[in-house]
Amino acid sequence: MDIDTDICVVGGGPAGLTLALLLVRSGLRVTVLERSRSLDRAYRGEILQPGGQALLDELGVLGPARAHGAVEHDRFLLEEHGRVLIDGDYRRLPGPYNCLLSLPQRHLLTELLAACERHEGFRQFAGTKATALIEEGGFVRGVVAGGAGGSPDRVVRARCVVAADGRFSKVRSLAGIGYRRQELFSQDVLWFRLSAPPRTDTRRPCDVRVFRAGGNPVLSYRSVPEALQLGWTLPHGGFRKLADRGIGHIVDQLVDAAPEYADLIRQEITGFGDVSLLDVFSGSAEHWVRDGLLLIGDAAHTHSPIGAQGINLAVRDAVAAHPVLVEAVRGGDAGAARLAPYERQRRPEVERITRIQQVQSRMMLSTGRISSTVRPRAAALVSRTPLYGAMLRRIAFGTAPVRLRADLLAGAGR
């Protein structure tokens, strides 16, 4: 069955669904193709910075998503052997979004999708993968998508295609757009969850922490429902050698790295199914626009979890792409020149945030005798200067204003 639409968004993650909602609310016809059959899938990353929270609230989805369960974190802490080196106190930032919010992506996507589905112009095909681009004279005119279980291909013709299909973007590679992966401080991360006792004393601050006790640094935060989310960082390719020695050996390493959770780790990490290994890197596509094609979120630029920026930037991309795409469809021209203002607006901020994340990674993850001597001194120096307050505001709210164009949204319904 052929479909004709204004915008075909490939990927129903935070970037794709935020953009889809903005576009349908502006009266455009939007078709989303999503590879997964349901929202019941594995997600990485759920910490939302204040800037992203504010935009999602303006869109009317933050409150309903929070109602499914969320955890507010007061501080970001960098700790070494029990000593706090950096205390990023979010409560000192201007309210009302002065916290790091742990909001499971499933909750966010449920509400974005529900809001999209209230609009007639919206269609989503779940369990459907983009497999080819339709091109005419170098201009992207649509997508061929394959369904699950050998169902026939779907042809989606569109005025513009948006690649929101994540860090290993198929659309990006089909379009022949190069990608520069940055290996500097790239790591593997072993993610796992532990059960956490209910939080009884709500006067005590709740923290997102990167700590180093013994061995490699660990990222930890409280998530819902009553869980601790932990990420143990290790050098690229280092896991296989450890895994060859069995799960017991991995458990011993985790206990060394996070001794305060030793009992929980020993009780709850009993097999390789309880951990997942992730390749963490950053990088950027060489172009974010082509004739008839625009890239957003991780498909355009990928970020390490350090500093919790990926979802934030994905939402900000969607907000910036929205007016550009509305104008392109209304003006009947989705050529690269028409789409270029989006890339001109977003690239400088993404590059600045990437540089900040590199500094953060160097500060948190570097190993060796020199770095362990220098780190506490550098951290103490940095956290006492006004520069640190300014950097925290940039990490929290972004480095350049991104305003939601409410004037382009139809007044009725969300």
Ligand X SMILES: Cc1cc2nc3c(=O)[nH]c(=O)nc-3n(C[C@H](O)[C@H](O)[C@H](O)COP(=O)(O)OP(=O)(O)OC[C@H]3O[C@@H](n4cnc5c(N)ncnc54)[C@H](O)[C@@H]3O)c2cc1C
Nearer to ligand X, 33 or 275 (CB): 33
> Edge to edge, what strands does the sheet with 100-102 contain?
47-48, 100-102, 71-73
**Cβ proximity to ligand X, 50 vs 310, nearer residue:** 310
Nearer to ligand X, 83 or 236 (CB): 236
Give min distance, CB of 19 to ligand X, in A. 9
Nearer to ligand X (CB atom), residue 272 or residue 413: 272
- Whole-number minimum distance, CB 49 to ligand X, in Å? 7
The minimum distance between CB 311 and ligand X, in angstroms, equals 3
* Residue 152 DSSP label: P
Q: Are strands 100-102 and 122-126 parallel, antiparallel or unpaired?
A: unpaired
The DSSP secondary structure of 75-123, one letter per residue, reads EEEEEETTEEEEEEEGGGS-SSS-SEEE--HHHHHHHHHHHHHTSTTEE
CB of 16 to ligand X, least distance (A): 5
For the CB of residue 29, give the shortest distance to ligand X in the complex, in Å: 18
Residues 6+ apart with CB under 8 A from 41: none
- Closest residue by Cα to residue 68 from 199, 221, 206, 225: 225
Distance of alpha carbon 267 from alpha carbon 290, whole angstroms: 52
Cβ-in-10-Å burial (0-12, 13-18, 19+) of 331 comes to exposed
Q: How many CB atoms lie within 10 A of CB 332?
A: 8
- Residue 395 CB, shortest distance to ligand X, in Å, is 11
Give me the amino acid identity at 400: A
Give the H/E segment covering residue 271. Answer: none
Q: Work out how close the CB of 183 gets to ligand X at its nearest, in angstroms, rounded to a whole number.
A: 15
- C-beta closer to ligand X: residue 262 or 277: 277
By beta-carbon proximity to ligand X, the closer residue of 287 and 303 is 303
To ligand X, the closest distance from the beta carbon of 396 in angstroms equals 12
User: Which of residues 10 and 228 has its CB atom nearest to ligand X in the complex?
Assistant: 10
Nearer to ligand X, 186 or 333 (CB): 186
413 torsion bin: left (phi>0), alpha (psi -120 to 50), beta (else): left
Integer Cα distance of 53 and 45 in angstroms: 15
| 32 vs 86, beta carbon nearer ligand X | 32
Distance CA 229, CA 146 (A): 35
CA distance 3 to 220: 45
Identify residue 226 by its one-letter amino acid code: E
C-alpha–C-alpha distance, residues 20 and 9, integer Å: 7
Q: How far is the CB of 90 from ligand X (least distance, A)?
A: 14
State the minimum distance, in angstroms, from the CB of residue 92 to ligand X. 21
Closest to ligand X by CB, 10 or 324: 10
**Which residue, chain included where needed, has tokens 């990353």?**
45
Closest CA to 218 of 190, 194, 239: 190
- Residue 378 C-beta: closest distance to ligand X, Å: 24
Cα of 131 vs its chain's centroid, Å: 23
Please give the residue ranges that form the binding site for ligand X (CB under 6 A).
10-16, 33-36, 44-47, 129-130, 164-166, 170, 189, 191, 278, 280, 297-298, 303, 305, 308-312, 314
State which residue, 235 or 248, has the beta carbon closest to ligand X: 235
Q: Which residue is nearest to ligand X (CB)?
A: 310
Contacts of 89 (CB under 8 A, 6+ apart): 74, 75
